[in-house]
Structure 1
Amino acid sequence: MLEVKINNKKQTISIKSKDIKHMLSEREDFISVQDISKDIKEDSIMAFDCQLDDSMFSVEEINELLEELGEEATVEEFQILFEDVRAFVKDITDEIESDLREQYLNDDIRCFFNVYSIDETFTDFKLVFVISFKDISIASLTSLTDLIGKKQLNGDSKFYS
């Protein structure tokens, strides 16, 4: 667990990664959330290894539709589905960022994600979700999130243990 202290418009407050993990776990979008904040060793930044609920996306439905039309799924159709997943997660990220800014009265809070693993059936989505509680450029947050995603893909993920 990581604890971050931030100044909002009224006072200094303490935010614990276990509380953020609980908040993320309560969302219907995620079926599993692991706190990996202490593993990244970044000041005022929390990270979570998440598994997305796959009920929103189904390759089976696409394949059934294509079978009815007498066609097979193409790479382009899978790319479209992947972009749909990214757009869905981007919307979740924006919503969580807005909620955290409102809850903690701090506009420096930024969230970003990296989808690091999708199985071939599009039923298993894993991503890292990173929250910065300090003033950070989106480029720096993006780079950090990408690095954490690669680290998780290369074996640090709790989902592969």
Structure 2
Amino acid sequence: MASADLCSRLQNGALARLRSVPLPSSRAASSLLSVLLAQGFLHSVSRGSPAGPNPAAFRTAPVPQRRLWADLKYDGEAQPVLRHLNVVSKPSKRIRLSPEELLRLVTGRRAQFVPPLGLGEIAIVDCGEAGWCEAREAIRRGLGGELVARAG
């Protein structure tokens, strides 16, 4: 499943004020959800089938029917914590940033035509074999990679 589709499903679910959003199970979905969960944009993530979250059903379901269920988080006024989730790197134009360029991006300067991060916004980076992480974590670890998405 493409990153753009994952981002669209999560953003549309938040705008529709859904409690949980089902996503087809894949490494990209798992990585994206783990970063969003660690950064506080999601309440929880669970495995299941199209019928709902159920780890036992996940193990017994055929691979195309396995789902990851993302429980969205809302503030006290029922506004979604995940206000936007935009794809940066697309199949037609991959954006790969070095650790120095990531530092520019998170400190308020443009990097490779990508606008700087705003207040409360994060960038999700695919660091290759090191996995997916938030841009600030990638900088701490001295890693660069493909800038997948930005969330706020």
TM-score, reference length from structure 1:
0.27
TM-score, reference length from structure 2:
0.28
Larger radius of gyration between Structure 1 and Structure 2:
1
Comparing both structures, which one devotes a greater share of its residues to helix? 1
